[in-house]
Amino acid sequence: MEGSVKLMNPALAKSHERCHLFGRHDRLVIDGQSFRVERKVKDSHVLQPVTGDLIAEDFFVVKTDKEINGLIRSKRMRIDEGYYSKALGILRARFDDSDLTDLSEEDLRTVAWKKEWCVRFLDAAANAEGRWRPRRTLDDCARFIEENADRMDRWYLDTFGERRRPGRRLPGEVRKAFDYPSSPALKKWLAKFIAGHCRMDSFRPRYSNCGNRNQLDQRAAAVIAVEVQKFASILKPKMTDICENVELALDEINKRLPQHQHVYASDNAVRRRIHALDPFMVDAGREDSDYALRKYTPVGKGLSITAALGRVEMDDWEVDLHTLIERSAIWKALTPEQRKLVPRVRMAFTAGICCASRAIVGFNLSINSPSTATTKPALRSVMVDKTELAAAAGAQASWHMHGRPTYVATDGGPAYGREFDDAAMRANISRVIPEQDPRMRGTVEAFFRYMKRLCRYFAGRAFANVVERGDYQAEQLAALTVGEFYKTVIVFIVDYYHLRPHRGLEGRTPYGKWMELEKAGLPPAPSEQQLAVAFGLRRKDRSISKHGVEFLGISYNSLELARLFALLGQKKVDVIIEPEDLGGVFVRIPKQFRGRIKGVPEDQHFLTVPSVDGTGKGKTLAETLLAKQAVREFVKAEQAAGRTIRIDAHRHFLDLAENVRKRAAIATHEITEKTLDLIEARIAFSGRAGLGSVEHAAEEPEGDGLGTVIAISTRRRVDTGQKPLPSPESPHEESSPKPKPFGGSMNLYDGDDE
């Protein structure tokens, strides 16, 4: 597009073996055997086998990145991120981006312990309907500790599987069974927690602050404080000059003091205080104020992210281009009059960008306005390889950038509401919401400026306001169909944007930067089952019966579910639906029953339950709902009332093969959990699928009758004089003794009924 910029040849941008970078708390399960990563040497991972709570200290297994990729493709390997650190998962919070990954497991548990005490105290203090609202006084803290110590002991035991260590041994006092805080300690924790804006970082250990930091004599400190200010002078003195000035000033003081009371200060003490001066004030004094302003005024460089997928920014944008809602082949066959009737729309584009490499890793286009149904597929695409999708769109370069991001930064709008937050949490992704300022997500905003350049090349471009648009008929001049624009955007991202030198990368391309960062290793991508659980639609409080669980008239059952039913009884469970394939659901195992189901390991939290007889296999949620007349009538009624119900995502307009859409995780629906709740509440679905398959007759019965009676209810008495019809299975049934019907009286004798 810009002739002066030299682009990389897209044909050379091909993917290679993915490099992995596992954390010290990750668990790798290979063919049922658990491993813990000990270290990585170049492209090889040194693994330690783990059996239960025992780690093989003297035995190691080495797996290269190529071998790990092969195990993942063959589905012989599962990666459980952060499995060996229960505390780290508990400390994940919605708006808290405290980085505690460098702490040990013991320190993480201590942070969780202090945080839980503070949260419970503040909840009790804010509960206006409670029987007692504690205040932050020593007496109230003591009473709160006395009432909640046993509950906290039980919480810690249930969470980590062991009790807190006993309290310290103090002379004349009984040692505590576990180290619950004293009232002054709890009051101090609350002050720290509130002063730190209720962030977990408030309880980070401050070992570096230990020791006496005020060993310098106060008279020497006063002299140093005066002399070091002279360092920020237009005379530009050196640090050695300041040290000599301090020494001369202390000599004048020592002349008036006895020998044993002389005051001294080392050169290092003086230099430390010089380094502690405000750099801006030092440069303003030694140079001038204009120099300092030019040096320290921010230029929009943004955050410094050094790891691939360390931070992914997501946002949505209404495309500045009107597109045609019709397939390309049909549009070409329409007459001019018919083309005028085709609706036009401005699509909603949701993008996710890796801040370290500037590569686009998340992508979704929708003909509807942004919602959680459009942002969740974009987040899911961050963790899916999109190379096949790029090839289907006509791109030459590879689009293999994917993986589990460490942080996802979004705004606080409704498109990133509760469902998006739940999906990110289930995918083990920390979500942060910066201040309500687009500049706090400047990386993704800068990419949208590139997209605006693309829109200028096509007819049907939208403008910012009516004055700028003038007499330009944007909707009437729309020339691209939805499918054509979808493929154009993919080719633009993969073959142009990724291969174009980027100013924010000092002239390197996003593709080249990604390949450079990838050599250090990438975080593991979730498995297909983990993605289905994270991004599926949750159905809460579903009953289990002998027929299994039911959804939209489809029954799901398995041997493991039957065993769970025997443990649960009338209790209800949560079920997660995979909208792209109703051939199976995921049933969440309640915490108290994990490890009690035969054949299901304790660390497995969900049961994969197939549909009975494969009834729902290959069916999507959208087509199943729209096949029901009651749903279609309900959608029309809601639309007539001004309440739009979105079900189908109209992905057939993309002109992509179905297998390509599935492998690229392109959603076929735009249904939210709230919408599905509304449909299920209003529409009565009837029917229940049987556990067994239906057996049809091999031959049609002869004659026009209803067929031959093969059984008569034993509760129904036959009229006198009427002979019962013989059974087709035993023609000589009359000569055999007849069984006693339950319809008659029952006794314990061998005689006939009286």
**pLDDT by residue (tens digit) across 562-585?**
999 998 888 899 999 888 888 899
Q: Tell me the C-alpha distance between 206 and 191, whole Å.
A: 16
DSSP letter, residue 161? S
| pLDDT (0 to 100) of residue 728 | 41
Buried residues in 214-251 as b, exposed as e (16+ CB within 10 A): eebbeebeebbeebbeebbeeeeeeeeebbebbeebbe
| pLDDT (0 to 100) of residue 238 | 92
| pLDDT (0 to 100) of residue 191 | 92
Find the mean pLDDT for residues 622-638: 80
| pLDDT (0 to 100) of residue 242 | 93
Nearest to 311 by CA among 349, 350, 348, 359: 359
Report the share of the chain in percent with pLDDT over 90: 19
Find the mean pLDDT for residues 603-621: 87
Q: The whole model's pTM is what?
A: 0.58
Structure tokens at 625: 């709902």
Q: What is the pLDDT of residues 215-252, one digit of tens each?
A: 788 888 999 999 999 999 999 999 999 999 999 999 99
DSSP string, 474-494: TTTT---BHHHHHHHHHHIII
The burial class, CB within 10 Å (0-12 / 13-18 / 19+), for 727 is: middle
The burial class, CB within 10 Å (0-12 / 13-18 / 19+), for 367 is: middle
Widest pairwise Cα distance in the chain:
140
Q: Which of 165-174, 623-632, 644-653, 709-718 has the highest mean pLDDT?
A: 165-174
Q: Is the pLDDT of residue 474 over 70?
A: no
Find the mean pLDDT for residues 538-558: 89
Residue in this structure with the two tokens 């082949």, named with its chain if needed: 329
Q: What is the pLDDT of residues 167-209, one digit of tens each?
A: 888 888 888 888 999 999 999 999 988 888 888 888 888 765 6
Q: Name the average pLDDT for the chain.
A: 79
Greater pLDDT, 589 or 99: 589
Q: What is the pLDDT of residues 657-667, one digit of tens each?
A: 566 666 666 77
| pLDDT (0 to 100) of residue 570 | 84
Q: Residue 348 — very low, low, confident or very high, per pLDDT cuts 50/70/90?
A: confident
Q: Tell me the C-alpha distance between 345 and 365, whole Å.
A: 12
* HSE, side-chain direction, 13 A CA sphere, residue 469: 16
* HSE, side-chain direction, 13 A CA sphere, residue 751: 2
Find the mean pLDDT for residues 151-179: 87
Q: Is the pLDDT of residue 289 over 80?
A: yes
Nearest to 108 by CA among 156, 47, 40, 151: 156
Q: Tell me the C-alpha distance between 423 and 754, whole Å.
A: 69
Q: Is the pLDDT of residue 468 over 90?
A: no
Three-state SS at 349: strand
Q: What residue spans of 482-620 are helical by DSSP H?
A: 482-491, 510-518, 528-535, 559-568
DSSP letter, residue 501? -
Report the share of the chain in percent with pLDDT over 70: 76
DSSP string, 644-708: ----B--GGGG---HHHHHHTT--SB---HHHHHHHHHHS-------SSPPPPPSSPPSSSS---
Q: Is the pLDDT of residue 91 over 60?
A: no
Of 301-315, 351-365, 386-400, 512-526, the range with the lowest mean pLDDT is 301-315
Of 214-218, 268-272, 368-372, 617-621, the range with the lowest mean pLDDT is 214-218
Strand partners, 481: 324
Structure tokens at 323: 């597109």
| pLDDT (0 to 100) of residue 145 | 92
Q: Residue 498 — very low, low, confident or very high, per pLDDT cuts 50/70/90?
A: very high
Q: Tell me the C-alpha distance between 413 and 434, whole Å.
A: 12
Nearest to 359 by CA among 519, 509, 490, 495: 509
Q: Tell me the C-alpha distance between 122 and 120, whole Å.
A: 6
Q: Is the pLDDT of residue 8 over 60?
A: yes
Q: Is the pLDDT of residue 439 over 80?
A: no
Of 1-10, 344-353, 402-411, the range with the lowest mean pLDDT is 1-10
